[in-house]
Amino acid sequence: MLRLLTRRIASYLPRRPMEPEPGLCCDEGCESCVWLVYANELLDYYRQKTPHGSLDKVKNEIIDKIESPSVKAFVIGELEMAAKQFDDLSKLRKK
């Protein structure tokens, strides 16, 4: 019984997303860039754990992992826009 309960609780805990495999990114800043998908999943993961400061955590974590400067700028820009939209929606819900 305890094992079943432990499994059930574990299924509700947020799971850290898997980092993209080396070589999967084409370095062209695609709309469905593997780094952008990973960064958004990582942002969701951190928001579930600690809602404040999640964007900075994600930026600090992925900034050195993305090799292409243009892809890095693209992913950071997209993340900042998504975070702003999320914050704006959160503020509207509180009103």
Amino acid of residue 41: E
Q: What is the pLDDT of residue 17?
A: 92
Q: What is the pLDDT of residue 18?
A: 92
pTM exceeding 0.85 = no
Mean pLDDT of 9-32: 81
Q: Is the predicted pLDDT of residue 10 greater than 60, yes or no?
A: no
The tens digit of pLDDT for each residue in 28-79 reads: 878 889 999 999 999 999 988 887 888 899 999 998 899 899 999 999 999 9
Q: Is the predicted pLDDT of residue 12 greater than 70, yes or no?
A: no
Q: What is the pLDDT of residue 80?
A: 92
User: What is the DSSP-derived secondary structure letter of residue 32?
Assistant: T
How many Cβ atoms are within 10 Å of 84's Cβ, its own excluded? 11
Q: Is the predicted pLDDT of residue 1 greater than 80, yes or no?
A: no
How many Cβ atoms are within 10 Å of 26's Cβ, its own excluded? 11
